[in-house]
Amino acid sequence: MWWYLLFSFITFPMLCFAVPYQPENDDVVLEVLVIPKEYASIRALQQEYQRQPSNIGLAYSLIDAYMQLGKREGDPRYYGYAEAIITPLLATRKDAPVELLVRQADILQHRHAFDAAYVLLNKVLRKVPDHAGAHLMRAIIKMARGEYADARGDCRYTLSPANGTLSGLTCMAMVDGLSGKLQPSYNTLRLF
């Protein structure tokens, strides 16, 4: 115990007078960001999109590439790059395509802007009531909010061969697990 007091007595003054590091000039490199190997293909896709800004398919490919990279790397910058493509597309379209709204909702959900994502997902589901991706994303938002019974309802929409029962069963197992029904959750996961 005495060594702890001695250590605290010696280090406490140093901590009190510590100042953050400030580089001597703007040329000092603080961190080097690693550029993922896929970035070259994304860059080529971006240049192609700049030549054809009205090509919505190309826009979707670029948005998806950025979002996949953002999910894999855990880097929010890539979501920002995707949103920089989505925002003008949404602004120039009176009736935005459903898939564009779903992508925007995914970005908002990633940022934990759940209310804004929820509004977009509801808009999507008014247009396409059986949109599995929108139901699944809405279920995830409801789970994050602790609304497990409502999340279960959205999971049910994804339980069909057309939507791929794996995502629906996974969704149901998540709801069960998070709401304390561990044995049913385990039983569902054992089906895989």
Q: How many CA atoms lie within 13 A of 136 on its CB side?
A: 18
Q: Are 94 and 73 in contact (CB under 8 A)?
A: no
Residue 159: DSSP 8-state: -
Residue 154: burial class (beta carbons within 10 Å; 0-12, 13-18, 19+): buried
pLDDT digits (tens, 9 = 90+) for 107-163: 999 999 999 999 999 999 999 998 999 999 999 999 999 999 999 989 888 776 666
pLDDT digits (tens, 9 = 90+) for 3-28: 555 556 566 566 566 678 888 898 98
Tell me how many degrees the CA angle 34-79-77 measures, rounded to the nearest 5. 40
Sequence-ordered list of residues with C-beta below 8 angstroms from that of 2, at least 6 positions apart, any chain = none
Max distance between CA atoms of the chain, in angstroms, equals 72
- Residue 78, classed as helix, strand or coil, is helix
